[in-house]
Chains A and B, each alone.
Chain A
């Protein structure tokens, strides 16, 4: 129960902090509400029946909405822990948290929980608005397949985010990695257009981007109803990323924390 109480404490704290500055939340919601019709009307410019969209059901609006919603969620997961650590550093609460008996993984998970739930709610808002206002149809969606794919993508993103946390701990600066990774993901990962339309070299590089596999798997599961057995390729690619990113992320962040403690730069900011 101890861990549950600690995680709940973070949720309660972040809910209270969000409530005290609800204007930011309102702006984010308004941005999503405005973006969804924009994507819909942009989608009407795209000729139906384009071969590169055929595997995903030929509907550009559905393709783009899922791409934006999922990439937003993955970007948030990647950056959330580093942002939280930076905020605690600047606020002077980082060393207070680190001298509590709460274990480090619980602190990291607790600090990321609220922003991740918020990002998930925003992704669902995109999809929900698409369904309600523009008749996106998910009747045949395979939710198990979609959950497995998005779950693996979240694990990979969180692990990559640990490298950002390490940067913040060592250099006491806002980290540059998440922005760069999101930029590469949007360009090569198939957020707004299918990867198939890219030049062959870019297509090859895109296969190294985890977002590419996450979006392929998610779209196939939600738009074509493909189950886990039909998603072997994206799932294996994401599992391979997990196998590499999780141990590296954990080792790097533990080393960074040890180094920050040793050099006396854990708290404070400059």
Chain B
């Protein structure tokens, strides 16, 4: 379903642009030789300290950032050569509070993004309704997004990622800044999507409890490299000791 081979990413600005921006740092190696295989219907976690490369990996998989080395396939489509096809297979929801038109309501926002999939207005409206229903936002669909709480925006982001029913869902800290009840609702939604709809979900998180609650396996990233891939369910001592050991070993 998702297969990465020696995937690497170095952020490197053109020297002209760098000097015009007044930046000195020439390059940042964000990912190093990441090789992973994630199966269909699996909920796969990405954990690691800040700057470990979790968000970059998700952005590379969503075709927003091209890899510098190596490659990846999603549902058989090559990430670089078939980027347009990959975009149809992947939905990305980030924990970013922005990303919506605040003066439009939730339904209008989703209808717009659904129409960009190339769907007629009628089908786009139906898809928007369906996605809003999946994240329990239908009752507030007519309210401007500017009036939504953080949790509602997070769920709206997931709803947008679900438009077009992509087989792969990428979630970047989906419960960041959510209260415990809202967070558990999002976690339940992710479980449901994987179990009932057979979606493959990749979740970047800092939360052990969340990873243990929804993931089957977790990759521990540090300095852009995968240090360990830990099976979550069935482990004797929980995720935290293994995570710490992986990070210690990487130092």
What are 12 A-B contacts with C-beta separation under 8 Å? Answer: A6-B118, A9-B124, A20-B104, A92-B97, A96-B113, A97-B116, A101-B87, A101-B88, A101-B118, A259-B17, A263-B17, A264-B11
Evaluate contact between B64 and A101: CB separation under 8 angstroms. Answer: no
Evaluate contact between B115 and A92: CB separation under 8 angstroms. Answer: no
- Mark out the residues of chain B between 1 and 44 whose CB falls within 8 Å of any chain A CB in the assembled complex: 11-14, 17, 20-21, 30
**Is A27's CB within 8 Å of the partner chain B?**
no
Give Cα A98 to B108, complex, Å: 19
User: Which one of B59, B64, B118, B160 has the highest number of Cβ atoms from chain A below 10 Å of its Cβ?
Assistant: B118
Evaluate contact between A17 and B121: CB separation under 8 angstroms. Answer: no
Give Cα A237 to B38, complex, Å: 58
Evaluate contact between B100 and A262: CB separation under 8 angstroms. Answer: no
Inter-chain contact total with CB atoms closer than 8 Å: 106
Q: With CB as the reference atom, state the residue of chain A lying closest to B102.
A: A91
Beyond A10-B112, A93-B100, 17 additional pairs, beta carbon < 8 A: A6-B118, A9-B112, A13-B112, A16-B108, A17-B101, A17-B104, A20-B144, A91-B101, A99-B63, A99-B64, A99-B92, A101-B87, A101-B116, A101-B117, A103-B84, A171-B17, A264-B59
**Is A265's CB within 8 Å of the partner chain B?**
yes
Q: With CB as the reference atom, state the residue of chain A lying closest to B98.
A: A92
Interface residue from B64, B65, B108 paired with A13 (Cβ < 8 Å): B108
Evaluate contact between A261 and B66: CB separation under 8 angstroms. Answer: yes
**Is B119's CB within 8 Å of the partner chain A?**
yes
Give Cα A162 to B88, complex, Å: 27
**Is B56's CB within 8 Å of the partner chain A?**
yes
**Is A196's CB within 8 Å of the partner chain B?**
no
Q: Hey, which chain B residues are within 8 Å of A10, CB to CB?
A: 112
Give Cα A128 to B104, complex, Å: 33
Interface residue from B30, B59, B116 paired with A100 (Cβ < 8 Å): B116
Give Cα A91 to B88, complex, Å: 23
User: Which one of B14, B66, B92, B124 has the highest number of Cβ atoms from chain A below 10 Å of its Cβ?
Assistant: B14
Q: With CB as the reference atom, state the residue of chain B lying closest to A3.
A: B118
Q: With CB as the reference atom, state the residue of chain B lying closest to A100.
A: B116
Q: Hey, which chain B residues are within 8 Å of A264, CB to CB?
A: 11, 30, 56, 59, 65
Q: With CB as the reference atom, state the residue of chain A lying closest to B160.
A: A96
**Is A2's CB within 8 Å of the partner chain B?**
yes
Q: Hey, which chain B residues are within 8 Å of A5, CB to CB?
A: 115, 118-121, 124
**Is A12's CB within 8 Å of the partner chain B?**
yes
Evaluate contact between B64 and A16: CB separation under 8 angstroms. Answer: no
Interface residue from A91, A103, A259 paired with B98 (Cβ < 8 Å): A91
Residues of B that sit less than 8 Å from A by CB: 11-14, 17, 20-21, 30, 56, 59, 62-66, 84, 87-88, 90, 92, 96-104, 108, 111-113, 115-121, 124, 144, 160
Nearest CB in chain B: distance from A222 CB, A:
37
Per CB-CB distance, the 9 closest pairs between chain A and chain B, nearest first, are A92-B98, A9-B115, A2-B118, A20-B103, A263-B13, A92-B99, A100-B116, A264-B11, A13-B112
Q: A263-B11, A263-B12, A264-B11 are known contacts. Are A9 and B116 too (CB-CB below 8 A)?
A: yes
Evaluate contact between B104 and A16: CB separation under 8 angstroms. Answer: yes
Give Cα A64 to B115, complex, Å: 42
Residues of A that sit less than 8 Å from B by CB: 1-3, 5-6, 8-10, 12-13, 16-17, 20-21, 91-93, 95-103, 170-171, 259, 261-267
Give Cα A100 to B110, complex, Å: 13
Give Cα A262 to B119, complex, Å: 30
Nearest CB in chain B: distance from A83 CB, A:
15
Nearest CB in chain A: distance from B3 CB, A:
20
User: Which one of B13, B104, B115 has the highest number of Cβ atoms from chain A below 10 Å of its Cβ?
Assistant: B115
Q: Hey, which chain A residues are within 8 Å of B124, CB to CB?
A: 5, 9
Give Cα A170 to B20, complex, Å: 10
Q: Hey, which chain A residues are within 8 Å of B103, CB to CB?
A: 17, 20-21
Q: Hey, which chain B residues are within 8 Å of A96, CB to CB?
A: 99, 113, 160
Q: Hey, which chain A residues are within 8 Å of B92, CB to CB?
A: 99
Give Cα A5 to B97, complex, Å: 28
Interface residue from B59, B101, B117, B119 paired with A93 (Cβ < 8 Å): B101
Give Cα A265 to B20, complex, Å: 14
Evaluate contact between A100 and B113: CB separation under 8 angstroms. Answer: yes
Nearest CB in chain B: distance from A267 CB, A:
8
Evaluate contact between A100 and B117: CB separation under 8 angstroms. Answer: yes
Q: A13-B101, A13-B104 are known contacts. Are A261 and B87 too (CB-CB below 8 A)?
A: no
Nearest CB in chain A: distance from B8 CB, A:
13
Q: With CB as the reference atom, state the residue of chain A lying closest to B87.
A: A101
Evaluate contact between B56 and A102: CB separation under 8 angstroms. Answer: no
Q: With CB as the reference atom, state the residue of chain A lying closest to B63.
A: A99
Q: With CB as the reference atom, state the residue of chain A lying closest to B117.
A: A101
User: Which one of A21, A96, A97 has the highest number of Cβ atoms from chain B below 10 Å of its Cβ?
Assistant: A96
Q: Hey, which chain B residues are within 8 Å of A13, CB to CB?
A: 101, 104, 108, 112
